[in-house]
Amino acid sequence: MGIARFHGRYNASKAKVFLVLRDIPRLRLTSGTLASQTGVPLASLRTLLPKWCRWGRIRRTKLNGEGVYYYQLTQKGRGWLSRWEFMMPVKQYYAEMLEYRQRKKHIKKTK
């Protein structure tokens, strides 16, 4: 396995999603909720989340047969996060996620 780099969007997206899943583990986080919390586009998450499930990094559970899934970080996902967190610009990721949520909230208020 090579060294993870955090210059591009892919590892940044994965890191943001994994950080949110780690920070709020008991909530039922859907792809839409993850998109609104992280700023990662929903279309990207619909592609990435199943891939991370196949790799065993996150777990997907169906909600009440409605076709809605919620996601949780697995032990393997926690391991990836703890292994690479020292190389991530974590403060920057949290700042970007907060800025995205504030911008989204402001847009809703002005409508």
For 4-22, how does the pLDDT look when each residue is reduced to its tens digit (9 = 90+)?
555 556 688 999 999 999 9
The residue ranking higher by pLDDT, 43 or 26, is 43
The DSSP secondary structure of 31-60, one letter per residue, reads HHHHHHHH---HHHHHHHHHHHHHTTSEEE
CATH architecture of 9-110: Orthogonal Bundle (1.10)
Give pLDDT tens digits for 48-65: 999 999 999 999 998 777
Going from N- to C-terminal start, the domains of the chain cover 9-110
Collapsed DSSP state (helix, strand, coil) of residue 64: coil
In the block, tokens 């020292």 appear at 86
Residue 63 confidence (pLDDT): 76
78-88 per-position pLDDT tens digit: 999 999 888 88
